Amino acid sequence: MPANSHSMQSCHIQSYNQPAMGADVLITRMSRLLSMCLTALFVVTFFGPSAAHAQDILQRQARLPWWERAEEKKIGHYWIKTDVEPELANSLARHLNLMYEQYAQRLASLPSREPEKLNVMIFAEHLEYQFVLRTKFGVDGTGSGGMFFANPSGTALAFWIENLPRRRIEHVLQHEGFHQFAFSRFGAELPPWANEGLAEFFGEAVLVNRKLVIGQTTPRVIKRIRDAIELNEHIPLRRMLTMDGQLWGAQVRRGDAALQYHQAWSMVQFLVYGDGGRYVQAFENYLKMINAGYTSEQSFIRAFGSPDIEAFEKQWKEFVLQMQPSAFVTAMERMEFLAAGALHLREQKIVPETLEELKAKLRAVGFTYTLGAHGVETVLNADDDSLFVIFEDDLSDQQPVFAVGAIDLRRATFRERKLAEQHPFPCGIQTQHLQPHEISVRWVRDEDEPDAFTFRIEVK
Ligand SMILES: [Zn+2]
């Protein structure tokens, strides 16, 4: 895909001997490829090639190759090799280790099967990510924001940073980090529905003050699964359970990839939360039996004590039909849309002062923002009123809202305040009355270009 196109996220487990198709050809040619998963590329047009680009290339040519330049260090459970700033590397390492505790807590009873050396490669630039993966490991990282791969040349979780919003990076890290963890417990034998369903379960979670806000979702995802159930377009559960990596990959390419991942996620959600947690133990037993070498169907029937998978499907459908979206993760997604929009306007020297003004200006320029999920793009369009509001949910005690205004510079340094007079920040955006936590956009000014910014969505 073109480097300046909007986002795409693809994610699939592949087994060797898989039929060669498109971008997977190279992967298929690799000998004894065990499993891999690609996630979350997120490139937005306004991060396109700049005038400094040629200069960058010259500088790049003059320095040592990434492999020699990047430092390696063990932090907690992970061996981290990276060329990013130590502060960022440490913060990502902390995030990874907190996620490790979450994976381990939920799969505590499973013994390790593969020797656990958890390698992580964090690249400052996505071109170097692609280059190192291709030349050192024979892996094609085109179009991916990160992946976990395991092949005879090595095993690692790899992802890149560049200008991606932190939330995108965290999604990749949490999703692919689960695949890496699962590989140490199951080898390549965890059925794709459970591997992807759990990876999405963790990928969508938000880590706040060392605690994971988990199990939440947006109206968009719920609607997609519900529509599929109502139109009878969902994948029958029996088929989901028995699909191997090869079938899963083929179906992702042929069918509705987003639905397949959403459905896997909803099945995990059902097993964890359905009927007040009634199935958690059986789900754990299912995973234990897979870990011990039984097939998916055998494990399911034994763990749930019944061969009647159709009855089980009925309960899953009922669960999905009454699922409620959550305000917090929906606000996270919409905040990302609003921040990307504010950044886009700032590039045209527009800094709105109210939410209404932000909305009007974004509409005037026809702003859209693309979220990627598994090869299917979801375009968020400024014409959609719902993107500017938050709804109440079980946790709300008051109607949550987005608030837009000038950035508070009272705590900024003198230098920063002077700089902001000449080169103003994009508009500030935050929530009010959002539970369990308020969120806001933090703008980070580029050190070399005072009019260039990136953003983080911060949880209070
Ligand atoms: Zn995945």
Residue spans of the domains in the chain: they are 22-188, 219-321, 327-459
* pLDDT tens sequence across 244-290: 989 998 888 887 788 899 999 999 999 999 988 899 999 999 999 99
Cα 153 to averaged position of ligand 1 atoms, centre (Å):
21
CA angle 19–25–28, rounded 5-degree value: 60
Query: In degrees, to the nearest 5, what angle opens at C-alpha 319 toward C-alphas 205 and 12?
Result: 50
How many angstroms does the Cα of residue 199 sit away from the middle of ligand 1?
A: 6
112: left (phi over 0), alpha (psi -120 to 50) or beta: beta
The dihedral built from the CA positions of residue 240, 243, 245 and 246, taken in this order, carries a sign that is negative
Q: What is the pLDDT of residues 94-128, one digit of tens each?
A: 999 999 999 998 887 777 777 778 999 999 999 99
What is the distance between the alpha carbons of residues 126 and 109, in angstroms, rounded to a whole number? 37
- CA 362/CA 345 separation, integer angstroms: 7
Residue found by looking up tokens 């800094």 in the block: 351
Q: What angle do CA 206, 162, 153 make, to 5 degrees?
A: 90
What spacing in Å lies between the alpha carbon of 402 and ligand 1's midpoint?
32
Nearest CA to 23 out of 130, 119, 127 is that of 130
Burial class from Cβ neighbours inside 10 Å (0-12, 13-18, 19+) for residue 229 reads middle
Contact indicator for 124, 84 with CB cutoff of 8 Å:
yes
Q: Homologous superfamily of 22-188 in CATH?
A: Collagenase ColT, N-terminal domain (3.40.30.160)
In this prediction the pTM is 0.79
Distance 58 CA to ligand 1 centre (A): 35
Contacts of 49 (CB under 8 A, 6+ apart): 3, 4
Cβ neighbour number for residue 399 with a 10 Å cutoff: 12
DSSP label of 41: B
CA quadruple 363, 367, 371, 377: dihedral sign:
positive
H-type helices in 204-256, by residue range? 219-230, 237-242, 245-254
User: pLDDT by residue for the chain (460 residues), tens digit each?
Assistant: 222 222 223 343 222 222 222 222 222 222 223 334 444 333 332 233 445 566 666 666 678 899 999 999 999 999 999 999 999 999 999 999 999 999 998 887 777 777 778 999 999 999 999 999 999 999 998 888 899 999 999 999 999 999 888 888 999 999 999 999 999 988 888 999 999 999 999 998 888 877 888 888 889 889 999 999 999 999 999 999 999 989 998 888 887 788 899 999 999 999 999 988 899 999 999 999 999 999 999 999 999 998 899 999 999 999 999 999 999 989 999 999 999 999 999 999 999 999 999 999 999 999 999 886 555 678 899 999 999 999 999 888 999 999 999 888 888 888 888 999 999 999 999 999 999 889 999 998 988 899 999 898 888 8
Q: Report how far ligand 1's centroid is from the alpha carbon of 193 (Å).
A: 10
